Amino acid sequence: MPRKIGALVCLALAIIARCAWVLGQGQTPANPLPAVAGAGEGTYSLATEFPEVQDSYTLYRVVPVTITEDRVREIAEWFGLSGESKAVSEVTGEFLLVDVSKEPEEQVSVYAHSGAVAYHILDLELPTEVTQQPDLPTNAEAEKIALAFLEKNGMKSPDARVVKTEVNQKQEVWKSGGSEPEVSYDITKAVRFGRSLDGLPVYGDEFAAILGDGGEVVGLAKTWREVAPDGNVSLRSPEEGKQ
């Protein structure tokens, strides 16, 4: 091993010496990288207008949630489910309730750390095999179905608005060596919601209803955190920030 390390050190020194010999002391490459045009010369003006902003904005704080097994059963009842809930993950704080009396089974997960809720009919949302194209609703029909479902189970939020309706799950059949699928089925369609606070969009929160064959709601995910106003903050204007 010492001989091997010594050989590597010698090789590194040889490479360094070679570079020094090629460039020579104090020399630069014959074709150095070109300087950026106009670098260090004059001043520049940004041809744009300052954005319109308010003098102050409302601050919001996340409202802590308390999730218990009783609370999980209460949420499950919104979806017409019953059964016993159990904690399945300390990392995510997930509580899971599976209604085995349903055919197929339906389940609800509630996450203690965030208050997120997920509802699934897994056999319909993620079928193992599909042999024909499911009867999916149009985008307009899907939005109406999703909104009615949320209204019925108490999951609708007053600040929610539909931002996108699209195919969610696809299932494809490929032939070995093929460049494209022989058959492709659209399995589910997602109606996705967004929200704003004081006219400003909130990013990072997920809220979607998943529809399957016949327009049935087969899944739902809502990770929105509940928030409450917590005072105001004044902002410097863009003009002041430029100075």
- The rounded distance, in Å, linking the Cα atoms of 9 and 16 is 11
Tell me the longest C-alpha to C-alpha distance in the chain. Answer: 83
189-197 and 160-167 strand pairing: antiparallel
pLDDT on residue 203: 86
pLDDT on residue 9: 40
Among candidate residues 122, 133, 109, the one with its CA nearest the CA of residue 222: 109
Domain ranges of the chain: 121-227
Peptide bond before residue 29 is cis, with ω within 30 degrees of 0 = no
Query: Degrees (nearest 5) of the Cα angle 21, 23, 28?
Result: 165
Name beta bridge partners: 160: 195
- The rounded distance, in Å, linking the Cα atoms of 193 and 74 is 24
Block mean pLDDT (10 aa), the chain, length 243? 44 42 46 57 72 83 90 95 93 95 97 94 95 97 98 90 96 91 96 91 91 98 91 80 68
From the number of C-beta atoms within 10 Å of its C-beta (0-12, 13-18, 19+), residue 67 rates as: buried
How far, CA to CA in Å, does 71 sit from each of 47, 90, 124, 240? 56, 17, 26, 50
Q: Tokens for 100?
A: 């085995």
pLDDT on residue 135: 98
Can you give the pTM of this predicted structure?
A: 0.73
- The rounded distance, in Å, linking the Cα atoms of 62 and 225 is 6
CATH 3.10.450 fits 121-227, yes or no: yes
- The rounded distance, in Å, linking the Cα atoms of 130 and 30 is 65
3-state SS track over 37-101 = CCCCCCCCCCCCCCCCCCCEEEEEEECCCCCCHHHHHHHHHHCCCCCCEEEEECCCCEEEEEECC
- The rounded distance, in Å, linking the Cα atoms of 181 and 162 is 31
- The rounded distance, in Å, linking the Cα atoms of 217 and 99 is 16
pLDDT on residue 148: 97
